[in-house]
Structure 1
C-alpha cells in the first residue's frame, strides 16, 4: 500500500526491515513486486528509494512481467514514466522482455498501443529497445505504430530521426577530438584530411566575407549563446550552468574570436559549436604507465595524443582552468594543466607496475573528483574521463572497471544528479587479443551505453601515420572523430 500510494520512505522501509522482509517478494493479491507496484503507479521517488535499497530491477512479477513493462503500462505523466524507465535501465533492467500474458508485447509496444507517446517511444529506442521484435501476432513496433496512424510515433521509432541525433550528440560531440580512429591509414598519409578541412570551411569563409569583423563577432556570440543554452537544457546540465554564467560568457566570447580569426585552426562553424559543447566538460585524462607501455612506441603515442587532446580541450576555457591528469601507477598528477605543462609531466613518468585500472580509477579520480563532492553539491562541471590503456586489467579482475563505471552512475543518481554527469571514453594502444576482448565486452555492456564509449583501434598507428607532423596530428585528432550515425549511444 505504501509503494502504491507513494508514502513509502526510508524510515518506513527501515521499520519493515526489522522483521522478516524480502524487498523483492510478490504481493499475494496482485502478484507484483514492490518495485513493479511503484513503477505501475508512477511513484518516481519510491522507485528510486527501492533501487537504492537493492530492489531488483529484473525481478519478474506474476505473468513474467518486468518493472519496465509496468512502467510502460501505468497511467502517469510522461516525465514520471521517462524518469522511472531511466532509473530502471540504470540499475540493469531488461527493457525488451515481453509479457507472455499480454501476447508477448514488449514495453515499447505497450507504450505505442496504450499511450501513443513519441517521447517515451524515442527514449526506449535510444535505450536499445528492439524495434524489430515481434509479438504473438507477428507484429513489430513499427507495424503497430502504422496501424495507429500516429506519424509522430512512427518518426520516433526511426533511429536516424533528428532527436535521435541530438541524443547521441551528448557523448559523440563531447568526445569530438578524443582518440578516435575512423579515417584510414591511406587517408591520413595522402593528405585527405586537409581536403576535408578545406571543403568544410569553404562555405563559412564565403558567407562571412561580406561582414565586418566586429559585427560578425557580436552576431556570432548571440547565436553561440542560444545554441549552448539549448544544448545545456536538452542534456540536463542546467544545475551546472545558468544563462548568465561567467564561464559560459568566456566560452562564447573566445569561440567568436576563434571564428573571426583567419589564422584559427577552427574555421568551420560546426567545429566551433562542437568545441563549445566539449568545453562544458571538465576533461580528466587517465593514462597507462604500466610496464607493458615500454613496448614499441606506445608511450610516445600516448604522450603526443594527450598533448593534442589537452590543447584542443583548453582552447576556449578560462585561463585558470585546464585538464586533470592521472596515471594508473604513478603518484604524479596535475590539475588545471595546459598542453605545455602536460607534456612535461608525460615525459617525466616512466612505465612500471601492473594495470589495476579500475581500482585506481576509483581512488585517484572518482573519489576525489566526484564522490567527495556529491554530499555538498560541489561538482562545478560535468566530467569527461578519457582512459588510455594498452591492455586488459592485470592482476585486477576484469569486472572492476566495469563495476566502477556502473557504480558511479548509481552514486550520482543517489546524490540527485543524472548518471550521465560523468562520461567515460576508453581508448586502446596496442593490439593484444586479450585487450581487444576486454574492450569488446565493455562496449557491448548495455548498462554502460549511457556513459561509456570505446575506441578499439590502436592509437599508436595514428601517430605513425601522421609522419611526425604535429599540425597534421592535431587535424587528425579533431577531424577524424565523427563516428557512424548508427552507433548505439544512449541518453
Structure 2
C-alpha cells in the first residue's frame, strides 16, 4: 500500500511512526489481496489497489425516499441492496468491523460496524421524505465521525447514494458542507485528505443525474469528491462488480481510479453494455 503521501496527518509524521502505525493495515491488506484474487476472482492489479481501504473507515448515506420503493417497479431498492452488500463484502475484508456506519437521509437510526446482509434490514425500513443530502450528511455522518470527532484516527470515505435531486435545503448547501468539512479537518491537523466523498445514483431520476453532473463540474469541490458517471446503469454494473466497485471505492482516494479512468473506458464494448442512452431523464422521479 503505497499511500503514505496525504495520510501522514493520521498515521504519523516520521518514518518510524508511519512504519509502526501502518504495520497492522499492511498485514490485513496482504490477507485481503490474497482472498480477493484466490477466492473472489479479482485481478491482481485491482486487488492490490483495493487494499488501500484497510487504511480507511467507510460510511454510507442511504436514500430512503418513497421513490426508492415505488419507482421502476422496485429496481431502485434492488440496486441499493446489491450496492450495500458488495461494499460490505469488500469493507469487511479491509476492516474487521466492516462498514463504520450506515445512515439514512430521511429517518433516524442506522447501523454501526456493519458486516451483514442488507435486504432484511432494508425491507423493514420505512421510506418517505425529502432528499436533504447536505443537511443529513453533516448531521448524521460528518458531525459524528469527522468534524465532530477530535479523535478521528483514520481517514473517512463517505459513499453518498441518491435516487433524486436535492430537496428541502438551500441551493449550494451540499457544496458548502463538503468544503467546510475539508477546511475544518485541515485546520484541526487531520489533513485535507481526512474525508473524501463519492457520489452515485440509483435509478433513472433526472434530478439525481443533474446533481451528479453539477458536482462533477464544480471547481470548488471536485478535488475532494468522485462521481459515478450518470450514464452508468448501476443495477447492471453491479452484476460485474470488478468493473464498477473499484471506481466506487477508490475513485475519490486514488487518482488513477478517478473520473479520467472511467472516461478511458468509453470506447470499450463493456462500457457501452453498462450505460444508458439518457432518454429516461425525462421520466418523473
* Contact residue 284 and residue 383 of structure 1 kept, 8 A: yes
Match of 2:140 among 354, 364, 383: 364
Distance 1:445 1:330, change over 3 A: same
Ranked by relative contact order (alpha carbons within 8 Å, sequence separation 6 or more), the top structure is 2
Match of 2:6 among 230, 235, 244: 235
SS at structure 1 position matched to 2:64: coil
1:282 corresponds to: 57
Cα distance between partner residues in 2 of 1:424 and 1:479: 14
Cα distance between partner residues in 1 of 2:174 and 2:149: 21
Match of 1:447 among 220, 226, 250: 220
4+ residue segments displaced more than 4 Å: 479-483
1:263 corresponds to: 39
* Contact residue 430 and residue 458 of structure 1 kept, 8 A: no
Cα distance between partner residues in 2 of 1:439 and 1:249: 34
> Are positions 1:413 and 2:193 aligned together?
no
TM-score (norm 2): 0.76
Query: What do you get for the CA RMSD once the two structures are aligned?
Result: 2.6
1:476: how far off? 3.9
Match of 2:99 among 322, 325, 328: 322
1:416: how far off? 1.6
Distance 1:396 1:485, change over 3 A: same
* Contact residue 328 and residue 355 of structure 1 kept, 8 A: yes
Q: 1:170-204 CA deviation, whole Å, 9 max, x = no partner?
A: xxxxxxxxxxxxxxxxxxxxxxxxxxxxxxxxxxx
1:336 corresponds to: 113
2:241 corresponds to: 474
* Contact residue 201 and residue 234 of structure 2 kept, 8 A: no
* Contact residue 324 and residue 334 of structure 1 kept, 8 A: yes
Distance 1:250 1:354, change over 3 A: same
1:435: how far off? 3.0
1:150-161 residue pairs with structure 2 within 5 A?
A: none
Distance 1:350 1:476, change over 3 A: farther
Cα distance between partner residues in 1 of 2:51 and 2:199: 22
Cα distance between partner residues in 2 of 1:275 and 1:486: 16
* Contact residue 398 and residue 438 of structure 1 kept, 8 A: no
Tell me, which stretches of 5 or more residues in structure 1 are unaligned? 1-227
1:420: how far off? 2.2
> Are positions 1:382 and 2:140 aligned together?
no
Cα distance between partner residues in 1 of 2:245 and 2:139: 31
Cα distance between partner residues in 2 of 1:431 and 1:484: 23
Distance 1:457 1:244, change over 3 A: same
> Are positions 1:313 and 2:91 aligned together?
yes
Cα distance between partner residues in 2 of 1:443 and 1:388: 15
TM-score (norm 1): 0.46
Distance 1:462 1:440, change over 3 A: closer
Cα distance between partner residues in 1 of 2:119 and 2:154: 24
* Contact residue 33 and residue 48 of structure 2 kept, 8 A: no
1:327: how far off? 0.5
Count, aligned residues: 245
2:131 corresponds to: 355
Q: 1:197-233 CA deviation, whole Å, 9 max, x = no partner?
A: xxxxxxxxxxxxxxxxxxxxxxxxxxxxxxx2x322x
